[in-house]
Amino acid sequence: MRDSKVARAYEALVAEGAIIDDAAQRKAVAALDTFGARLAHALAAKSRLRQMLRLPPRKGMGEGVYLTGRVGRGKTMLMDLFFKTVETAKKRRVHHGEFMEEIHGRIHALRAGKHGADAISTVAEGIAEEARLLCLDEFQVNDITDAMLLGRLFKAVMQRGTFVVFSTNTEPDKLYEDGLNRQLFLPFIAFIKQRFTIIELSGGTDYRLRRIAGGEAYITPLGERADQHIERLWQKLTDGEPGRESELMVNGRVLRVPRAAHGAARFQFAELCEEALGTADYLALARLFDTLFVENVPLLNGKRRDARRRMITLIDTLYDGQIRLAMSAAAAPEALASGESDFERTASRLRHMQSVEYWQREGVSS
Ligand SMILES: Nc1ncnc2c1ncn2[C@@H]1O[C@H](COP(=O)(O)OP(=O)(O)OP(=O)(O)O)[C@@H](O)[C@H]1O
Ligand SMILES: [Mg+2]
């Protein structure tokens, strides 16, 4: 009989009314059940001879699932649901960022102890020993160090029989896109495509976004109430994650993003429009994020000409890219730069950008 633990867990949530039955998620659930059955088989595999000799079971090559899709589609939820159904004490579920920090730490400690080039395989051995199932949430490749490390690490971990699940926003072919020396990373992409079951959550619903009503995203006047409102909106859109600082390279310069999580980035107005930023920076943000938070936008008429110009460019760029904008401002769009004719189009766009239709549209970036 086919085991369908994940399907049963999913159905229970639907029956409780905790989640909405989603066809794309159902498909992913079925694939996870197949994967789960193979893992269960691998966990149970013990040869009689090895048992008699009290040797640990010989482990075959581990398998993988690559769970991908745009933000809010339910990747993490399904991964966690799957994780719960797996019956072994040797399982581990960890955020990619935290995992990589640990890996760097372990490698560093070994190198200090003169293990040299073998450090990665020694670390992989340890990881595989501790977990037959390793679930990594928000898998991504940030920099050249990780790009060069990940392939060797995961190949070695899986060769030791560990099964791996990645949840990620990035499809395999786009991993480490535009990265330095990317050709050295391509074998890992080939490995993923060959060894992993790629499950795409392609449903049209961003379940986080569903929690936002239209007109909620522009708050005025400034003050504590506005700050709290923006904070609540941020929490809804990121499931309570404070967000991590990150850096983008734009034309050879670093653009600092103070807080980023789940496709959203959060800035103070001053950080975006009172610094020497321009179209290239705003385009980079529009390419990378679905939603931008801009807090504490002051009145922009009169002397604030440079900041106003930048704000105009910013809004044009976001609007063209259909990026969502959440904003706290000193006044309503029309009153933000009254008397300044260059701001009229921006004010009208800011209005449109608050509509339910604009907020709930199908996302364009991934
Ligand atoms: N079918 C559903 N019905 C209702 N809510 C859902 C459903 N699927 C997911 N959710 C909820 O929507 C939110 C987003 O889901 P989840 O965090 O799993 O998305 P994700 O694909 O991991 O997003 P990200 O790429 O940003 O990490 C969660 O709070 C989750 O509980
Ligand atoms: Mg997630």
For position 335, what pLDDT does the model report?
A: 96
Task: Give burial (CB, 10 Å; 0-12/13-18/19+) of 173.
Answer: exposed
Q: Please write the tens of the pLDDT for every residue from 146-167.
A: 999 999 999 999 999 999 999 9
> In this model, does residue 258 exceed pLDDT 60?
yes
Comparing 296 with 248, the larger pLDDT belongs to: 296
Q: Whose alpha carbon is nearest atom 14 of ligand 1?
A: 72
Confidence of residue 52 (pLDDT cuts 50, 70, 90): confident
For position 211, what pLDDT does the model report?
A: 81
Distance CA 158, CA 124 (A): 9
Exposure pattern of 263-272 as b/e (b: 16+ CB <10 Å)? bbbbbebebb
Which one, of 289, 281, 286, 283, lies nearest residue 253 by Cα? 281
Percent of the chain with pLDDT over 70: 95
Q: Whose alpha carbon is nearest atom 12 of ligand 1?
A: 207
For position 198, what pLDDT does the model report?
A: 97
Mutate to test the pocket of ligand 1, among 10, 207, 289 (most ligand atoms within 8 A of CB): 207
Residue 58: what are its φ and ψ, rounded to 5°? -75, 135
For position 364, what pLDDT does the model report?
A: 44
Match 């400690």 to its residue by tokens.
109
Indicate if ligand 1 lies below 6 Å from the C-beta of 239.
yes
Ligand 1 closest atom vs CA 25: 1
Residue 66 alpha carbon to ligand 1 centre in Å: 17
What H or E segment, with its residue span, contains residue 245?
strand 244-250
Confidence of residue 202 (pLDDT cuts 50, 70, 90): confident
- The amino acid at residue 171 is E
> In this model, does residue 314 exceed pLDDT 80?
yes
Residue 286 alpha carbon to ligand 1 centre in Å: 22
In whole numbers, what is the pLDDT of the chain averaged over residues?
91
- Which distant-in-sequence residues (6+ apart) come within 8 Å of 263 by Cβ? 70, 71, 72, 169, 289, 290, 291, 365
Which one, of 281, 276, 273, 266, lies nearest residue 325 by Cα? 266
Q: Please write the tens of the pLDDT for every residue from 215-241.
A: 789 999 999 999 999 999 999 999 999
Residue 19 alpha carbon to ligand 1 centre in Å: 9
> In this model, does residue 112 exceed pLDDT 80?
no
What H or E segment, with its residue span, contains residue 14?
helix 5-16
Confidence of residue 117 (pLDDT cuts 50, 70, 90): low
Ligand 1 closest atom vs CA 18: 4
> In this model, does residue 363 exceed pLDDT 60?
no
Confidence of residue 316 (pLDDT cuts 50, 70, 90): very high
Q: Whose alpha carbon is nearest atom 9 of ligand 1?
A: 74
Q: How many CA atoms lie within 13 A of 203 on its CB side?
A: 19
For position 215, what pLDDT does the model report?
A: 77
Exposure pattern of 93-120 as b/e (b: 16+ CB <10 Å)? bebbeebbeebeebbeebeeeeeeeebb
Indicate if ligand 1 lies below 6 Å from the C-beta of 208.
yes
Indicate if ligand 1 lies below 6 Å from the C-beta of 169.
yes
Beta strand 64-69 pairing with 196-201 = parallel
Mutate to test the pocket of ligand 1, among 66, 77, 167, 290 (most ligand atoms within 8 A of CB): 77
Exposure pattern of 345-366 as b/e (b: 16+ CB <10 Å)? ebbebbeebbeeebbbeebeee
Ligand 1 closest atom vs CA 261: 26
- Which distant-in-sequence residues (6+ apart) come within 8 Å of 275 by Cβ? none
Residue 283 φ/ψ region, left for φ over 0, alpha for ψ in the -120 to 50 degree band, beta for the rest: alpha
Comparing 51 with 35, the larger pLDDT belongs to: 35
Confidence of residue 3 (pLDDT cuts 50, 70, 90): confident
* Contact between residue 342 and residue 206 where contact means Cβ atoms under 8 Å apart: no
Question: Would you state the torsion angle of the CA atoms of residues 18, 20, 22, 28, taken in this order, to the nearest 10 degrees?
Answer: -10
- What is the side-by-side order of every strand in the sheet holding 264-268? 218-219, 324-329, 291-297, 264-268, 253-261, 244-250
Does residue 221 have a cis peptide bond before it, meaning omega lies within 30 degrees of 0? Answer: yes
Mutate to test the pocket of ligand 1, among 22, 29, 95, 208 (most ligand atoms within 8 A of CB): 208
What radius of gyration do the chain's Cα atoms show? 24
For position 365, what pLDDT does the model report?
A: 43
Exposure pattern of 123-153 as b/e (b: 16+ CB <10 Å)? bbeebbeebbbbbbbbbbbeeeebbbbbbeb
Compute CA distances 321 → 54, 155, 259, 317, whole Å.
Answer: 62, 38, 20, 6
For position 360, what pLDDT does the model report?
A: 80
Residue 268: what are its φ and ψ, rounded to 5°? -85, 150
DSSP 8-class letter at 362: P
Match 């050709």 to its residue by tokens.
183
